[in-house]
Structures are given as structure tokens and as C-alpha cells.
Amino acid sequence: MDAAVALSVVPVIVDLVVLALRPGLPPRYETPAAVVLGVTISLGYALAARLLGGSLLTDALLRGVAVGLTSPGLIAAVRRLTLESRASRR
């Protein structure tokens, strides 16, 4: 896994851990969950890279997950700004 891919995985891991905290993962398990996710993603990437076209597929999958996990945060920010704008007009 090259450095660019590794850096793009960090926000994915953060978002997945935050997603796990919402339904009730105790905060003391944040770090172990992040480590397990990091190792799992790294091993999966290494194994996929051995397949023909596997690294291309894995890159696309990681980018898709990153975009999918980032989108709700962007939507929430736009919604919050819109509501604040409407409230200030009143």
C-alpha cells in the first residue's frame, strides 16, 4: 500500500469508528477498533493487489467508501447552515 492510499484510508477508518460509536460501541474500544480496521484494510489491499487488476478495484472501492462516508457530513453541514440562515432571517 503506497502512502497516498494509506493517507486516504485514515478518514475512512475514522468515519467507520464514529459510525460504530453511534449504536453503542464503548469509547474505550475506539483505538482497538481503529487498529483492527487499519490492519484489515491493509491486509485486504495487499491480498487484492496480488490479483489481476485487484489494486485498481481496491483503490476504487476505498475511494467509493471514503466518498460515501464523507457525504453525510457534508449534507449535515449544508443543512445546519441552511437552518441557521433561515433562523437569522426571522
Number of domains making up the chain: 1
pTM of the model: 0.66
Given this model, what pLDDT does residue 71 score? 78
pLDDT tens-place string over residues 1-15:
667 777 778 888 888
What is the span of the domain harbouring residue 80?
3-89
Task: Give exposure, 63-89, as e/b (b: 16+ Cβ within 10 Å).
Answer: eebbeebeeeeeeeeeeeeeeeeeeee
pLDDT tens-place string over residues 14-29:
888 888 888 999 989 9
